[in-house]
Structure 1
Amino acid sequence: MPNALNMAATGFADERSPFLSVGRVTALLGVTNSELAKLIGVARNTLAAKSGARKVDQALSPVVRILAMAAEMAGDESRAAIWFKHQPIPGWAGKTAYDLVSEGKSDKVLAYLEAVRSGVYA
């Protein structure tokens, strides 16, 4: 991961712990904890459990990387969130990044963003 992306992703850190902030991601995406849990494939109770923090962090990491990369490209986080939830990705039958992440295909979204950044789909 490039250093600029690491810096952007650190904006999603929880100030009170070494992990990513569930609250920050839910607020940005405008989703509930239940919706976020379903999106990243963890039980809703795991989001709040201290014992689940590492698992949540690992599951949330691809979403944060996608949002950070999209924000860097779109100019700000709110545009990135709108893109993530509503903009169909070419070649995926009208599916959005949100849809693909919920299907466990975060890697495909990241690859798409890398390709766009490289000018492949520009």
Structure 2
Amino acid sequence: MAAIGLDIAAARFGDGQSAFLSARRVADQLGVTLAELAKLIGVARNTLTAKSSARKVDGALSNVVRILSMASEMAGDDNRAVIWFKHQPIPGWGGKTAFDLVAEGKSGKVLAYLEAVRSGVYA
């Protein structure tokens, strides 16, 4: 049931014209430029806007969207989720935020942390 809710929450990041996530919508939600988003997810800036790269961009954005959707569900608000993502240090990671960890390629660690918190475990 939670997966269905997550799919619906993630749908707001869709393109509307295709089945892929929209880099522009994710960047707008985070309040970053496309260049900053590209750096965050580890792709070239031009890759974000190339139609031939839609599948690659979708894959790269999927963890960020999952993190934002889970954080929004837990915080009760999209804006709080973004503030948490960008500014709240995650316990046990030396003052690093979810944004920092995603930029280091550790989005799986952030997702695991959110799952643990959602399950009632708090570091």
TM range (shorter): over 0.9
In structure 1, the partner of 2:122 is 121
How far residue 23 of structure 1 moved from its aligned partner, in angstroms, is 1.2
2:11, 2:88 → 1: CA distance?
Answer: 25
Cα displacement string for residues 39-96 of structure 1 (whole angstroms, at most 9, x for unaligned residues) = 0000000001001110000000000000000000001111101100000000000000
1:16, 1:80 → 2: CA distance?
Answer: 26
Cα displacement string for residues 77-118 of structure 1 (whole angstroms, at most 9, x for unaligned residues) = 111011000000000000000000000000000000000000
Structure 1 runs not aligned, ≥5 long: none
1:46, 1:65 → 2: CA distance?
Answer: 21
How far residue 16 of structure 1 moved from its aligned partner, in angstroms, is 1.3
Aligned positions of 1:24-103 closer than 5 A: 24-103=25-104
In structure 2, the partner of 1:2 is 3
1:49, 1:119 → 2: CA distance?
Answer: 41
Q: Tell me the secondary structure at the aligned position of residue 83 of structure 1.
A: helix
Structure 2 residue identity aligned to 1:70: A
1:11, 1:49 → 2: CA distance?
Answer: 21
2:9, 2:44 → 1: CA distance?
Answer: 27
Structure 2 residue identity aligned to 1:99: D
Q: Tell me the secondary structure at the aligned position of residue 18 of structure 1.
A: coil
2:61, 2:3 → 1: CA distance?
Answer: 18
Q: Tell me the secondary structure at the aligned position of residue 66 of structure 1.
A: helix
Structure 2 runs not aligned, ≥5 long: none
Sequence identity percentage? 74
Structure 2 residue identity aligned to 1:41: G
1:39, 1:88 → 2: CA distance?
Answer: 17
